Amino acid sequence: MKFSKNFELPVFFLLTFAWSWGFWSLGGYTKIALLLAPFGPTLMAFLLTYLTSGKGGVKDLLRKGLSLKFPKVWLIPALLLMPAIIGLSLLIAVMSGEPLPETPLTGNPLTLIVAFFYILVLGGPLAEEFGWRGFALGRLQTKYSALVASLILGVIWGLWHLPLFYAANELYKNVPFPGFVAGTILFSILFTWIFNNTNGSVLTAILLHTSGNWGHFAFPITATQWGSLYSLIINFAVVLVILAVWGTKSMKRESTPSAGP
């Protein structure tokens, strides 16, 4: 007997939080717990997909993370948009008088390449995106517009990170939690925009997540006083442009029917 699809989203969120928060609570005792905690969204996505849709559903979900069947132009924002926003934020912070923090950009370029692939596998994207975008986003959009679905998922995604703000985590120590959640909401809108324009590609979501985390590694705005705020403002401006051009219903330009004879 298959698991009912009527409850899959609430169950997905509940199990994801239980898995990740449970392992994060053990993080002070074992490094394995810290390694396993972020994989809650992806693992629960595959588990519930199997229970609701069987092996065929699992194959379809996995295929979304591997397939290149989408307009390749969307690789540009997936890979470059967030590093550009974060890099510009750091530049503004430095130009406004803040000291330039130590950054890997001034060191060995190989470090930046290695960091990208490390972040992809162990820094969140692979652990999360089959869940947040591959499983949850599409289901939310069957009930809500693209914008509303993004707002809901952005809030939930932000709250999921809450235990990290009570841990000895260098990445979050200078970031106020409300500002972080505002950032996940804006980032969530960018995810939906790219996801909907790439035929629901989880691969582009993984790449966007990777490039965003990599951008924070290459341009350490959290080490500045105002860099994170500048990033939030720029991100907000980008989102406004996207919503103005692509709309809020699907964030996707629908093809216009050709005129009749």
Q: With 80 as the cut, is the pLDDT of residue 19 above it?
A: yes
Least reliable range by pLDDT among 103-107, 116-120, 151-155, 243-247? 103-107
Burial class (CB in 10 A: 0-12, 13-18, 19+), 6: exposed
Q: Which residue range forms the structural domain that includes residue 171?
A: 69-246
b/e for 185-201, b at 16 or more Cβ within 10 A? bbbbbbbbbbbbbbebb
User: How much is the average pLDDT of 3-27?
Assistant: 89
Q: How much is the pLDDT for 257?
A: 38
Does this model's pTM top 0.75?
yes
Mind listing the pLDDT tens digit for each residue in 33-87? 889 999 999 999 999 999 999 999 999 999 999 999 999 999 999 999 999 999 9
Question: Residue 46 falls within a domain, yes or no?
Answer: no
Number of domains, the chain = 1
Contact 202, 134 (CB under 8 A): yes
Contact 194, 204 (CB under 8 A): yes
Q: How much is the pLDDT for 254?
A: 63
Question: Residue 81 falls within a domain, yes or no?
Answer: yes
Task: Show the tokens assigned to 114.
Answer: 């290695």
Q: How much is the pLDDT for 253?
A: 75
Q: What is d(CA 241, CA 243) in angstroms, rounded to the nearest whole number?
A: 6
Q: What is d(CA 224, CA 72) in angstroms, rounded to the nearest whole number?
A: 35
Q: How much is the pLDDT for 261?
A: 34
* pLDDT, averaged across the chain: 91
Which of the two residues, 122 and 255, has the higher pLDDT score? 122
User: How much is the average pLDDT of 11-33?
Assistant: 89
Phi, psi angles (nearest 5°) of residue 27: -60, -30
Mind listing the pLDDT tens digit for each residue in 91-126? 999 999 999 998 888 778 889 999 999 999 999 999
Q: What is d(CA 150, CA 52) in angstroms, rounded to the nearest whole number?
A: 24
Q: How much is the pLDDT for 29?
A: 63
Question: Residue 238 falls within a domain, yes or no?
Answer: yes
Question: Residue 6 falls within a domain, yes or no?
Answer: no
Question: Residue 16 falls within a domain, yes or no?
Answer: no
Mind listing the pLDDT tens digit for each residue in 188-200? 999 999 999 999 9
The closest alpha carbon to 170, from 107, 220, 235, belongs to 220
The closest alpha carbon to 203, from 134, 118, 102, belongs to 134
Q: With 60 as the cut, is the pLDDT of residue 255 above it?
A: no
Q: With 50 as the cut, is the pLDDT of residue 259 above it?
A: no
> How far does Cα 81 stand from its chain's mean position?
13
Task: Show the tokens assigned to 32.
Answer: 């394995």
Question: Residue 212 falls within a domain, yes or no?
Answer: yes
Q: How much is the pLDDT for 180?
A: 94
Question: Residue 109 falls within a domain, yes or no?
Answer: yes
Question: Residue 19 falls within a domain, yes or no?
Answer: no
Q: What is d(CA 95, CA 140) in angstroms, rounded to the nearest whole number?
A: 41
